[in-house]
Homo-oligomer: A and B are copies of this chain.
Amino acid sequence: MALVIQKFGGTSVGTVEKIKNVAKRVVCEKEKGNHVVVVLSAMTGETNKLVSLANEVSETPNEREFDVLVSTGEQVTIALLSMALQEIGCAARSYTASQVKIITDSAHTKARIKEIGSENIKKDLEEGKVVVVAGFQGVDEHGNVTTLGRGGSDTSAVAIAAALKADVCEIFTDVEGVYTTDPNICEKARKLKKISYDEMLEMASLGAKVLQTRSVEFAKKYHVPVHVRSTFSDNEGTLVTKEDREMERVAVSGIAYNKDEAKITIIQVPDKPGVAAKLFGLISESNINVDMIIQNISEDGYTDMTFTVPKGDYKRALELVEKTGVELAAKGVTGDPNISKVSVIGVGMRSHAGIASTVFKTLSQEGINIMMISTSEIKVSCVIESKYTELAVRTLHDAFNLGEGEITEEKS
């Protein structure tokens, strides 16, 4: 008898009809003889509706109260699904985060899970009940309601899977799984059978919006096998799991892209200790996330420094850097919001030479200029002009033959 965690997102529970379908799906799993814990998001649109209410009251709503407000969305769906399960004869019980004791820190709107009480849930499972848990929410040690940030239900599900030592954490969503790249811009995109945690992290943070990044970090840390699959079909999806030899046979697993960045360059800044610390210290104090940072070698005691920030923070960051540029006696500051980042990802890269040069050659053959390069053990990222994004993704997908055959073979 296995223990299966099933997480359903907002589109999967968006109407009463859909909730009834989820109930049937859960009962199917139960009838295989497995224990099932379900983790739910709020109905599609519900969280947005609550957020607008908060914004009507205040432009900067108090964060503690914001969490009290938005966490109601999940409380609605867990109650409705538990009713629906009982309606078709399946014993079930709903749990808010406070009832489970999903203890987080007190960082409202972006809390981190510290501990999960599993006693009550285990008792219900042993009695044959399906347990239905509210995702996205937690409580701090003083009993204040917290939330985990957008997409936090994925993290709830994986954390619960870790705490209960579940056999698998199934993430049901409106796509069939994780693809070699975005099927909307590359028709040859193919569903992956397997992907390693590290690859998934790169895919997720680089713009493939299937799983919340933090949930993948959690899964990696606690070795939770995560199965990303569709609510609306019975097809197998993609298993996110620890690296194995099969994965290393293939150099590249996927191509990710992110159009949501902008770049800023500070020109001819004196190359002396403390310059980068001052610049990025100020930016981070303003709560702006810097992604790539490139600094060229120094010429005549001066250097250029380029970095990327989320597009939404571009104007604010530019103003800040212009002010700091004057203080640092830089020659000037330029910026460009029309860029995007294209990344080639694969754990096999470590043992396959020449991936980066293939990337550069492929892009140059299409006349795409590379503005910035950043690499890690398992990825090569290039910043290019935004208008070339789709072309770059398709060309790289072809260059690494991602549309052909299976990337990970069946277990043998």
Contacts and interface: CB of A to CB of B under 8 A. Distances in A.
Interface of A: 16, 19-20, 50, 53-54, 56-58, 61-62, 64-66, 68-69, 71-72, 75-76, 78-80, 82-84, 86-87, 93-94, 96, 98-99, 143-145
Copies of this protein in the assembly total 2
A144 to B, nearest CB: 8
A144 B98 CA distance: 10
Interface of A is mostly: helix
A52 to B, nearest CB: 10
Contacts of A75: 68-69, 71-72, 75
Contact of A53 (B16, B66, B71, B99): B16
Nearest to A19: B57
Contact of A87 (B58, B72, B83): B58
B54 A83 contact: yes
Nearest to A78: B68
B72 A58 contact: no
A64 B69 CA distance: 21
A56 B50 CA distance: 22
Contact of A84 (B57, B87, B93): B57
A68 B83 CA distance: 10
B86 A62 contact: yes
Contacts of A80: 53-54, 57, 65, 69
B68 A96 contact: yes
Contacts of A143: 98-99
B98 A16 contact: no
Contacts of A56: 16
Given A94-B68, A99-B143, A143-B99, A58 B84 contact: yes
* Residue of A54, A57, A80 most packed against chain B (CB within 10 A): A57
18 contacts: A16-B57, A50-B76, A53-B76, A57-B83, A57-B84, A57-B87, A58-B83, A58-B84, A58-B87, A64-B93, A65-B80, A65-B82, A65-B94, A68-B78, A68-B94, A96-B145, A98-B98, A99-B144
